[in-house]
Structure 1
């Protein structure tokens, strides 16, 4: 199993006269070691596992920096840290000066002034003529922008004197609110949020960018009680944990999520919980050695109401025992046994509970027997792991309540499978200390939706000869093997069968350097621009496998507009850049070739414009949190998807930067108010656009069941006029309210897990007045589909997934192979079942008749037909190819193994469409007629494509043009984004385009779209030039 995640622990020490140092570490801990000394370049070594490490510090060319404020005066006391490690390089002295060693590649610094101003700065190495202290690098801080506001209590609005207010992640820059609750901070960076708290209150959050912030703090409530045993005697030392009840909606404050807290009972059995929020129901769990864990519900209460005196009774639980044996019925000693509650069928609850790490552990003795005491009543999954054996889980074991003993039975372990292999570099040399992990492919996403890792997981570290062995895996599954190592890009072997017939070989490619410049619209360098490089997620069968920590690289340009990223994995990537006064620009379709650095990238930033203003009600009251978007930049008319938006602070002020100069339409919205539109001619100088919003109309009503009883926590969905939509949840009495609406025709529907809506959707017309008394009906879905699963091995029963199409619940499977899917409404249902990481699939249809409580459908694995085949790309096996087999009423997913082979099972007669993808955008489609077992050969032919986009009037390069590849029917390969963008030279590159006829289209604001038709065949297409005609002035 993978090691559990731990909070990073930083340890610091100083070397002795011999350069030695000793730091504490856990026996199995993997650390990153850093070393730094005055006048020397810092060095680090990642993934240190041994008991010793040698770090060699090298000298760097000294360069002096001189930090000045916005008025040009020297800034002393500025803290200078290294951006990638937060090592403190020093503080500027009088005169704002500090000498630093700088490597040839430059140094990323973070500067923090005493008033909170921050700056990310890239210091390049000095040129020959810049050496010596006489020619410092001058760094100018931005002007301070003060932020003020008030801290009040949420319900009463009373000021909270003495409250602490601080910028996120910088307690040292905090301040105290005055007697009237007001505060002021000398400076807060626009992207940094604010936090506030006071004794007896939860932490409140303030959005980033606001200059006037009002914190409405929630008071912490307390509740106490006593823990007793069955005889009523106090129980000391009981551990209590209060958690917000599953399904509770927290619309007021995110701090409620972390409310509840812990307590321990005293010698008298008394306890106190001091971190409860008003209006929230809590689950209170109590446990103590010698007793079964107990759960009680802590009812919601409002502030000011008397605190309840709770009584928690701990009972003696049940004892469960069992036996673990091997295939020859010999006892297995030292096996690790654990019980965990069976996951619920509701997807949301299942996702949440899957992340609960609590297990009830036991270990088998020499007789193979295990025992667990003081168990609560419930349904549990029993998992057994032992060295040399495949892990096994026995699902849905029932443990009754009360005292007594329960026999969990005998668990027979089968020998575990293994995967052997080696990790090498491109020259075939072994790579030692590489991390090797397995993960289930989870092509259908079921494990993700359940909050679980797909399939079995194991890990290993390569030896000095690059070899590794992954042991104790479940035979019969196919796993992805993923390899990482500092200094190399990630590597993988997809779909490796357990056990592996032959050793696998994974080749790691060294990381590369990517460098270039950011230019302004005039072609001049832009210093201090923010640059981001995002490595495209590596895919196996359409599933991402690249570690998130290696995907995103961020930096800034130096005073010559240059940037460099030193540790980029070979493969496709995209870049973006932004700077004040400019529009954001991005480049797509870039690629680092293995073994090569990439230089000369040029990102050109067009001139930008800014709009700002204030949003108020018709009475002049500022509307905090109002949203203002550039409406002509939205996607499908939905403001949430606008590329440019601003949020009003507590004074109603908003600001939107980086839009293109010229005419735009702004839209302002606020909860309970009608949307307002304003036109503006944006320019480099900020344009002021104020909004006064009018109270909108309202639709209100209730959601009830067939008997007229209220349905709480149901979702109500509204759609209608202007393609706008809203949703809300019902209160405890079933009431709902949708506000801020305009005149028009609307449709309302309600939904909740365990219920089905009563069609048709409710139609409501608004014409100058609110509408109330709307009643929406939900019918409880009380039906059940049951059946038996056949054709599976016992070890697969805990992993099989059974579900019905269009239903929100998964089925529960017990140890006998019976399944049950609850909350089903009458109708015709398709039931599907799969075993993740195997080709096993079964399906069938069943009808739940009106008035019937149950329908039965048995599913047989191993029935139906099989489709096997191999995927080739340009004649070579395509490992990890994504495959989708779409039939008349269902689709299955699979991925190709190392040899490009794939397999689908359980297919009925009929016509299917087989789709095969490369993971980089190329797809192949073909029709397959299934009348029996069949084998196919899928051949993809692809080629790279490069080109240039120029202005048709003077042949000058057009940067930032978006490139789309369209099929003959006009459909995009990537419907939600462009395939590539042009750089400052107008050049674009597509790593892979599949064989066929295509239209390459280029689009950019200010030009009419241009296109070229191409043919991708046996020979690669030549460079494509697309000429765009300007539209400005036409």
Structure 2
């Protein structure tokens, strides 16, 4: 029986992220955080089991509401709490090509740890196309901590990357990014929860009377979730005096909506929360109007249910937000947009896995019912088989507009479980040449194409045969030639031809998820590698991370043995950051970027402690730009620096050699 996992995706959210990336640098955490923070990313990268997640200051998007047992669907409001999962004994290991995450959630009182029961812990697919960022996709599994704060999440496919989110009404959200598993692994995550920040304000009508029962929605502006309906971090209502209090928010920039039936929605953007309570917000709501309509399929005028409809203001009387929270069509394809100011709007529609991109129309309030016509996605149907022609029961499918998996987007990947290897894939790429790639545990993958999806509704009878792939082996050593054990070795794709920037995007942002760890002799073995051109990325505790400059080829499943890769200890940069008055400043982010690299390249970052001190270790030798950013601009590996509020007008430069210790004091002038 065929079962296809639902992909939680909102195209509008990705547009917002793409716009920010176009004008922003992405900071990738490779070093320690502020004093008192832990080293989750480093521990995860090193594969250790006694994990202590970092105290991330990044805003977390999306509230995980409790509900019953579920797999790969968004956690929605109004459902029953999930049950605490039983924790198997330590000797019970996951099945091959599966993994498990377990651990505990706790708080601190008087310096002592206290278990936190009834916290919702969810593991979600990470569908980001950049290794340094995380983007929440489908919720794979979730549970609720028991009386001792323990949780267990099992049956996790080990061939993907994940993120873990923890929610509790009395504490700020926690977000643990970039989690990966090895086949049969049980990984421990011990997660500390802390109280968050508070946002207060009032909502009144234009005549000054308080509005009781107005809904206040707080969303994080980085929009690091695919499903826009999960983008609300916290929600509350006003009391009889029109006052509201929203507690346990994470720091950073927020978008706050005030909604009330019969009134026009009002929004405030760039609401900055950091260290304590923000200034109270004041919303004054004017009269609102509604806009009704239907969404139908163009081919047969049948209703399109469950479609997200989002209104963007074009010209409105009395202003209002640029975009409004989306509404969803009912079974008859109807929607009702309330709380709009009078004016003209552009309406866009989206439904992951169902609608072709581009459905939109313009409408004016007070006019006739709006009808939005949409097209169904082409469906590609077939089967996946092994080299002998036998069906493969668990696999992933993704469509690509070019004959290379390097150009694939995780957002378009669908996961299937089918005893006879059958699949039906909704293809979001329309064109004369589309390739369909399949991947499965224990295989290098396979493809079929090119296919023409222009004007097609169904393409049937496809057959994708998987190959076993090649084996890539080698050794990692230190500067003296001694083997380095437990080093992480991953494949990086090579692409872009003579265009170095294109090569960076293809090779660094969308590298294959093929990796291995060295044994005590420093030997690594990467299996099931498809044909292609590659280089290596290597990291290990106590060493500077390395990306090999030499590339190698894999052809026709033939094994490849590579020369030794050498890791160096790297440099250390430390110092004190002071303000314009010469006083040490805490909470300032120090960013170290290799000179001459693209704006989205990886960077070393850390934050100053209470005495204004910073220290970055294991830096690769080179010339670096040193920049100072305000605290919320970078918060763990999840934050995007948009250029808003950056401090320090010009970046300084510093040249660092291997094993060099350099002191560099910095000023905010």
Q: Place the TM-score, normalised by the shorter chain, in its bin.
A: 0.5 to 0.7
Name the CA distance, whole Å, in 2 between partners of 1:57 and 1:259. 34
Query: In the alignment, is residue 194 of structure 1 matched against residue 347 of structure 2?
Result: yes
Kept in 2: contact 1:197–1:217 (CA 8 A): no
Q: 1:498 aligns to what? A: 656
Query: In the alignment, is residue 457 of structure 1 matched against residue 484 of structure 2?
Result: no
Name the CA distance, whole Å, in 1 between partners of 2:373 and 2:668. 53
Query: In the alignment, is residue 166 of structure 1 matched against residue 309 of structure 2?
Result: yes
Query: In the alignment, is residue 98 of structure 1 matched against residue 242 of structure 2?
Result: yes
Give 3-state SS (helix, strand or coil) of 2:452's partner.
Answer: coil
1:309 positional shift: 1.0
Query: In the alignment, is residue 118 of structure 1 matched against residue 145 of structure 2?
Result: no
Kept in 2: contact 1:234–1:267 (CA 8 A): yes
1:409 positional shift: 1.2
* TM-score using structure 2 length: 0.55
Q: Could you say if the C-alpha distance between residues 270 and 54 of structure 1 is closer, same or farther in structure 2, counting changes exceeding 3 Å?
A: closer
Kept in 1: contact 2:203–2:214 (CA 8 A): no
1:118 positional shift: 0.8
Q: Could you say if the C-alpha distance between residues 270 and 391 of structure 1 is closer, same or farther in structure 2, counting changes exceeding 3 Å?
A: same
Name the CA distance, whole Å, in 2 between partners of 1:288 and 1:110. 43
Give 3-state SS (helix, strand or coil) of 1:447's partner.
Answer: coil
Deviations 1:77-119 (A, max 9, x none): 43356799975553465xxx535689xxxxx974312257213
Q: 1:366 aligns to what? A: 520
1:380 positional shift: 0.7
Q: 2:135 aligns to what? A: none
Which of 467, 474, 477 is the matching residue for 2:620? 474
After superposition, where does 1:155-554 map in structure 2 within 5 Å? 156=299, 158=301, 160=303, 164=307, 166-167=309-310, 173-176=327-330, 185-189=337-341, 193-196=346-349, 200-202=354-356, 205-206=359-360, 210-211=364-365, 213-245=370-402, 260-276=412-428, 279=431, 281-303=433-455, 307-345=459-497, 347=499, 350=503, 352-353=505-506, 354-426=508-580, 428-442=582-596, 447-448=598-599, 452-453=600-601, 457-485=603-631, 490-491=647-648, 494-499=652-657, 502-508=662-668
Name the CA distance, whole Å, in 2 between partners of 1:138 and 1:389. 51
After superposition, where does 1:549-560 map in structure 2 within 5 Å? none
How many residues in Structure 1 have an aligned counterpart in Structure 2?
456
Q: 2:29 aligns to what? A: 2
Q: Could you say if the C-alpha distance between residues 303 and 10 of structure 1 is closer, same or farther in structure 2, counting changes exceeding 3 Å?
A: same
Name the CA distance, whole Å, in 2 between partners of 1:412 and 1:362. 16
Query: In the alignment, is residue 79 of structure 1 matched against residue 132 of structure 2?
Result: no
Name the CA distance, whole Å, in 1 between partners of 2:576 and 2:451. 58
Deviations 1:656-703 (A, max 9, x none): xxxxxxxxxxxxxxxxxxxxxxxxxxxxxxxxxxxxxxxxxxxxxxxx
Deviations 1:554-595 (A, max 9, x none): xxxxxxxxxxxxxxxxxxxxxxxxxxxxxxxxxxxxxxxxxx
1:339 positional shift: 1.4
Gap regions ≥5 residues in structure 1? 38-42, 103-107, 123-136, 248-255, 510-1034
Kept in 2: contact 1:115–1:173 (CA 8 A): no
Name the CA distance, whole Å, in 1 between partners of 2:410 and 2:538. 33
Give 3-state SS (helix, strand or coil) of 1:477's partner.
Answer: strand
Name the CA distance, whole Å, in 1 between partners of 2:388 and 2:574. 58
Name the CA distance, whole Å, in 2 between partners of 1:318 and 1:430. 55
Name the CA distance, whole Å, in 1 between partners of 2:411 and 2:484. 44
Alignment RMSD (CA, Å): 5.3
Give 3-state SS (helix, strand or coil) of 2:598's partner.
Answer: helix
* TM-score using structure 1 length: 0.37
Give 3-state SS (helix, strand or coil) of 2:551's partner.
Answer: strand
Name the CA distance, whole Å, in 1 between partners of 2:268 and 2:541. 52
1:503 positional shift: 0.8
Higher RCO, 1 vs 2 (CA within 8 Å, ≥6 residues apart): 2
Q: Could you say if the C-alpha distance between residues 25 and 322 of structure 1 is closer, same or farther in structure 2, counting changes exceeding 3 Å?
A: same
